[in-house]
Structure 1
C-alpha cells in the first residue's frame, strides 16, 4: 500500500502501521534488529522514553544486540526514561555493547574509565580505557582516534583528569608525539575535524613527524572544510587543541 505523505491522515495511518509492524517483528518474530527499531520508534515518534528504555534493555539482555546495549547505557548515563542517572549501570551496558563489537559502546566505556570523577562510581583505569579506545578506533570510530591522540599528547595516569598533564616519570600512558600523530592521522582520515586541526599543527611544528608546512596547510584546509560541512555546529574550531599544554 502506498501513502500520500502530504496528507496528515495518511501520515498518521502510516506511523500507526509502522508501530504495529515493529511490535509484530519484535514480540512475535523475535527479531533483534526490529526490536531496536521498535525502541527507536517509541523514542523518536512516541516520545515514550520509559518504554523505549525497556525495549532497549531487553534487546540487549535477551538478544545480545550491541546497538541496544549502547542506547540503554546512554539512558542510564543521562537518567533518560529511568528518572535518575546510574553510572555503574551505564558502564555495565556499554561494556556489554563493546563485547558485542559495537564501537561506540567501547568508546563510551573508555571515556568513563579515563575520566576522573568520583561521582561516576566507576574506578578510573586509564590503561584499560586506552585499550578500549584502540579497539574503537580500529573499528573506525573517528572520535576514539582523536581521544587516543590526545592521551598521547598529554600523557596520562590514574588520578589525573582528562587533558591534565601527568607528573614527569609517573605516566601510565607516556607522552608520545609519534603515537599522537599516528592516531590524529587516522582520525582525520575518518573525518574528525579536530584530528585534522591537530595534524596541521604537528606538521607545522614538526611534532611527532617531520616538519612540512605544505602538509600543515593541507590539513588545516581539510579541518576547515569538515567544519563547514558540519550542520548546526556552534563550536569554533581551535587549532592545536590539546597541544598547547604538552
Structure 2
C-alpha cells in the first residue's frame, strides 16, 4: 500500500539549532499513527515542518505521492493535509461559526454548508453556540471547535497536535472516543501526543521521538510489549 504521507530523512530546526535529525515516518490511507515523545523531543517541529510552517533543511516530504517539501502552508492545506495545532489556536474574538467558516477558507469552500452540518452532527454543542465568542468557551469546547475547524477543510490527513493537553480525564476519554469515530469513517490521522498509554490503545502503529530522532517504531502491540518503552514512558 502506497503511504499517504511519507517523510524521509527529515531535518529541521530554528536558527543554529537543529531539532530534527533524519526522521523517517509514514502514514497509510485510513490509518491512525501515533507520534509520541516527551517535551522537547521534536514533535511540534515535525508537525510544523510537514505543514509548511517551518522550512525543512533536508529530506523529503511526500503527500499522496507528490513532493510537498518546501511548499507553502496554504498549498499543503489545499492538498488536504490539515493540522489541528497544539493549544487549539482558535480566534477568541470571533464567534464559533466564524471560526468554523475559516476552516474552509483554503479548501472545500464550495461545500461549506454541508461540512458545517457534518461538524454539528459530530459536535452538537457547537451548533448550540454558533454566536458565542470562542474565547468564552471552556477548554474542552475550544478543542471541539479546533477539531471541527480542521474538519471543515475536508482533510485527507488530519494531524492532531497534543489534543488532550489541559483536558480533564473525562474529556480525554471523550476525545479519544471521537478520534476513534473519525478513524472509523476512513479519515487518516497522525496523533501527536504525550499520552502514550491511550494513544497506543487507539493507534495501529507508532513512532517515538527522542532528541529529534525516531527511537522506537512498530505496531502499537510491539511498542506496548517493549520493556524499555514501558519503563521510560509508562512507568511500569
TM-score computed with the length of structure 2 as normaliser: 0.29
TM-score computed with the length of structure 1 as normaliser: 0.28
| Higher share in strand | 2
* Rg comparison, structure with higher value: 1
